[in-house]
Amino acid sequence: MNVLNVGRASARHMRVLLLCTDAYGGHGGIALYNRDLAEALAARADVEEVLVVPRVVRTDPGTIPPKITFLAEAAKGPAHYLRALARVRGKADLVICGHVNLLPVACTLAKHPILFVYGIEAWKPIRMARLLHRAAAVVSISEITRSRLLAWSHYAGPTHLLPNAIHAEQYGIRPRRQDLVERYRLEGKRVLLTVGRLAAEERYKGFDEVMEILGKLPEDVVYMIAGGGNDFPRLQRKAVQCGLADRVIFTGLFPEEDKPDLYALADVYVMPSRGEGFGYVFLEALASGVPAVGSKLDGGREALLDGLLGLLVDPSNPAEIERAIREVLGNARRGIPAELEHFSFERFQARLDAIVVTQT
């Protein structure tokens, strides 16, 4: 079977191999995306099994859905990973490479794998650029990532867009948890929130930009940075230097199950970023009823549907960021926009099915 000749194969039960960084037992947008991808593939009538081989498993994978075989042992180390690859070699009709860094591995398992790309990992030339041209197709989470990849790679094969899905039923508008209000000293405060990894090598989330205008906002407005990482000491020092030590709150790493309650603390979700491939956190905030301010210069623009779902700002323009935050704070309304349905799992499933069909 041709690696992409799956649309007319409903009579044949296929096996799909998904090579990924993380999925079940993983945190963050890419892990969730891979779980949705695996489950959308498994829902197809012509798919018998989806084999998922991860590089990392951070926590208990939990219950794995039907038709999905999750080879968690592959994440235990290089030897385990090689054994897992040997176990699946030759058993898949369709091979999906879930990250550009895994492309060399994918090309040992399939002549023409499908490549999925997300953000900055695909925005600049990569060492295995020649392997990119072996991809049967490239599926991108956003238009900005697709266009930037095509600009440097000159890839001439088929490309498709498949943005994140939001499981809105997992969020919703809820009251503030009093224990969190007390822990973070939020009584009587209005909260700006950014959720993300604090990585020194990826200073593009907009933490600095928000901190730099915080002092111009009313004193009851505080800024909560939810996440951990090696850039925490620098950001903490900056808060002190700006005289904002009592107005910038760092949660550190937090349990994934607490995330909806963190959104419930926020009055504005703000992330004037420069390097987001998409910005799944915007969808989470909106599904929690939190109005959003995002960047017009990266994938956040697409997550906010070019401004339909939130205000867009230039992250290099402090006055623009301040005005947008003041505008949202002035409206003081919570609500889940109907347009968020654009990113429902059902839409994700339909888009994936259309991609598969067009590649037959």
Q: Quote the pLDDT of residue 27.
A: 82
**pLDDT for 11 beyond 70:** no
Considering the domain architecture, whether residues 173 and 64 belong to the same structural domain is answered as: no
Residue 12: which pLDDT band, with cuts at 50, 70 and 90? low
**pLDDT for 310 beyond 90:** yes
Give the list of residues 6+ apart from residue 157 with CB closer than 8 angstroms, or none: 133, 135, 136, 137, 138
Considering the domain architecture, whether residues 87 and 182 belong to the same structural domain is answered as: no
DSSP E strands: which ranges in 185-226? Answer: 190-195, 221-226
The tens digit of pLDDT for each residue in 232-268 reads 999 999 999 999 999 999 999 898 889 999 999 999 9
Considering the domain architecture, whether residues 229 and 316 belong to the same structural domain is answered as: yes
CA dist., res. 220 & res. 150, Å (int): 46
CA dist., res. 270 & res. 259, Å (int): 16
Considering the domain architecture, whether residues 193 and 336 belong to the same structural domain is answered as: yes
3 occurs within a structural domain: no
Considering the domain architecture, whether residues 191 and 308 belong to the same structural domain is answered as: yes
Give the list of residues 6+ apart from residue 348 with CB closer than 8 angstroms, or none: 36, 40, 162, 163, 164, 165
The residue behind tokens 């654009």 is: 342
Considering the domain architecture, whether residues 150 and 200 belong to the same structural domain is answered as: no
257-263-268 Cα angle (round to 5): 165
Considering the domain architecture, whether residues 331 and 353 belong to the same structural domain is answered as: no
Considering the domain architecture, whether residues 202 and 257 belong to the same structural domain is answered as: yes
Residue 5: which pLDDT band, with cuts at 50, 70 and 90? very low
Considering the domain architecture, whether residues 292 and 263 belong to the same structural domain is answered as: yes
**pLDDT for 3 beyond 70:** no
For residue 241, what are the CA distances in angstroms to 50, 86, 248, 272? 51, 54, 12, 21
Residue 360: which pLDDT band, with cuts at 50, 70 and 90? very low
Helix (H, G, I), strand (E, B) or coil at 231: coil
Helix (H, G, I), strand (E, B) or coil at 64: coil
213 occurs within a structural domain: yes
Could you give the strand order of the β-sheet that contains 14-20, starting from the edge strand earlier in sequence? Answer: 68-70, 47-54, 14-20, 94-97, 114-117, 137-140, 159-161
For residue 351, what are the CA distances in angstroms to 4, 28, 55, 73, 356? 16, 22, 26, 31, 9
Phi, psi dihedrals of residue 331, rounded to the nearest 5°: -75, -35
Q: Quote the pLDDT of residue 4.
A: 43
**pTM beyond cutoff 0.75:** yes
8 occurs within a structural domain: no
How far, in whole angstroms, is CA 1 from its chain's centroid? 32
Considering the domain architecture, whether residues 319 and 186 belong to the same structural domain is answered as: yes
Domain membership of residue 255 as a residue range: 169-340
**pLDDT for 290 beyond 50:** yes
Considering the domain architecture, whether residues 146 and 263 belong to the same structural domain is answered as: no
Average pLDDT (12-40) is: 92
Query: For position 330, which CATH number holds?
Result: 3.40.50.2000
CA dist., res. 346 & res. 343, Å (int): 8
Domain count, the chain: 2
189 occurs within a structural domain: yes
233-237-242 Cα angle (round to 5): 150
Q: Quote the pLDDT of residue 77.
A: 95
Query: Based on C-alpha coordinates, what's the Rg of the chain?
Result: 21
Q: Quote the pLDDT of residue 1.
A: 38
5 occurs within a structural domain: no
Considering the domain architecture, whether residues 143 and 275 belong to the same structural domain is answered as: no
Q: Quote the pLDDT of residue 333.
A: 82
Q: Are strands 248-252 and 137-140 parallel, antiparallel or unpaired?
A: unpaired
Helix (H, G, I), strand (E, B) or coil at 136: coil
241 occurs within a structural domain: yes
The tens digit of pLDDT for each residue in 109-134 reads 999 999 999 999 999 998 888 999 99
**pLDDT for 295 beyond 50:** yes
CA dist., res. 243 & res. 262, Å (int): 25
132 occurs within a structural domain: yes
190 occurs within a structural domain: yes
User: Residue 119 has which token pair?
Assistant: 């953000």
Average pLDDT (149-173) is: 95
